[in-house]
Amino acid sequence: MELWIINDKPRYMVRARIGTQVLDKQDWVLSFMNNIQVLDLSYNLELMYMLSSISNLESLRALLLQGCRRLKSMPSVGKFKKLRLLDVFHTGIKEVPQGIENLIKLKVLHMGGIDLYELLKEILPVTTRAGDLAVMGFLSGNHAHFHLI
């Protein structure tokens, strides 16, 4: 198991390369990380699911799961009121994460392999409630990359 925790003033960054067996046993660790702002689990090829307790990380500003190809779903992201970046590109996630309509501070959503209509149906309530946000995106095959400005 490799786990780095870096203290940069009041901000924290965690980068983990751990398997699902270790993650199951380490669920309690998340209870000590309630002030974490960036969680980067990118390219963790063993990650098959996210623990539901990750939803308690309410200070999270960036959740990076790119390249976790075995990850097929994730718990609700509705409590991540401060989340600005959600990267689930090149994962097995094919549905819009539950609770995304509550992410009023979301600026960047990076995901692919999803029906564009379904994505926009979930994202538009966020943009209209947050004020003058514009949705820009491009499609390349099944890749959709959106910046909410």
pTM (two decimals): 0.67
- In terms of Cα–Cα distance, which of 107, 141, 145 is closest to 126? 107
**Region class of 123: left (phi > 0), else alpha (psi between -120 and 50), else beta:** alpha
Which domains does the chain carry? 2-148 (3.80.10)
Q: What secondary structure does DSSP assign to 32-97, as a single string?
A: G-TT--EEE-TT-TT-----GGGGG-TT--EEE-TT-TT-------TT-TT--EEE-TTSS--SPP
43-80 pLDDT per residue, tens: 998 888 888 788 888 899 999 999 999 999 889 998 99
Query: To 5 degrees, how large is the angle CA 70–CA 80–CA 96?
Result: 45
More confident residue, 112 or 142: 112
